[in-house]
Amino acid sequence: MGDVKLIGIWVSPFSTRIEIALKLKGIEYELIEQNPFDKSPTLVKYNPIHKKVPVLLHNGKAIVESLVILEYIDETWKEGTPLLPKDPYQRAVARFWAKFIDEKCFPEIQKLCFGSKQEKEKARDELPKLLKILDNEVKDKKFFGGDTVGFVDIVSIPITYWRGAMQEAANVEVLTNDEFPNISAWAEELQTCSIIKENLPPREKLVGAFRALF
């Protein structure tokens, strides 16, 4: 297994993704918790380019960017629960939706909640369209790839969990659960996985942190 450390921040859904994946694989690790208000020398040392969490340290080697880390975990500890499906086409589908969540949906959520007035207005137009696309995709699915938690489920938590707390912190009352019933059902289903449920911070704690941060 080697020496496994995670430089993370509990308030980051991207750090939490890695904690969930490591626990699903049964990998023991040491969490080096960062202060969200201050970038530590350790973080800057191991992620000099982006200076962001999460950073996985495996036998002293640093791996950064949460999607890259998830693939690394899956390829390094093959014996545990697989994160990505085996079939190349299904793997491509999973990677497509992961990019969609990270590059399209989440930046709009950030703008909607904590952006400038202009960004907020634009996100209010854009985000519902993006979430509707995702909502259609998860219709009639238990987890994204089938009956067990996998890559896209873990990747989804900025949408399926963090979004609610961010909207509450920013007093954004649009985009309720009723508008995206399939995403809501998916979010509930994810809570039936004890490893996911136990690693999500309490909603009130997240709301408080976002109010303090922004």
Smallest gap from Cβ 185 to a copy of itself, in A, equals 21
Measure the CA–CA gap between 186 and 141, rounded to whole angstroms: 8
How far is the CA of 90 from the CAs of 60, 87, 126, 145, 180, in angstroms?
32, 5, 27, 8, 24
Q: Which of these segments, 34-42, 68-76, 119-127, 190-198, binds a copy of itself (CB under 8 A)?
A: 68-76
Q: Which is nearer to a copy of itself, 41 or 88 (CB)?
A: 88
58 belongs to the binding site for a copy of itself (CB under 8 A): yes
Smallest gap from Cβ 164 to a copy of itself, in A, equals 24
What's the full length of the chain, in residues? 214
Q: Which is nearer to a copy of itself, 10 or 29 (CB)?
A: 29
x/- binding map, residues 142-181, to a copy of itself, per CB under 8 A? ----------------------------------------
Q: Which of these segments, 10-18, 33-41, 85-93, 185-193, binds a copy of itself (CB under 8 A)?
A: 85-93
96 belongs to the binding site for a copy of itself (CB under 8 A): yes
Q: Which is nearer to a copy of itself, 94 or 165 (CB)?
A: 94
Q: Which of these segments, 71-79, 120-128, 168-176, 198-206, binds a copy of itself (CB under 8 A)?
A: 71-79
Rounded to a whole number, what is the distance in angstroms from the first to the last CA of the chain? 39
Among 69, 112, 113, 196, binds a copy of itself (CB under 8 A): 69
Q: Which residues bind a copy of itself (CB under 8 A)?
A: 49, 58, 61, 63-65, 67-69, 71-72, 75-76, 88-89, 91-92, 95-96, 99-100, 103, 133
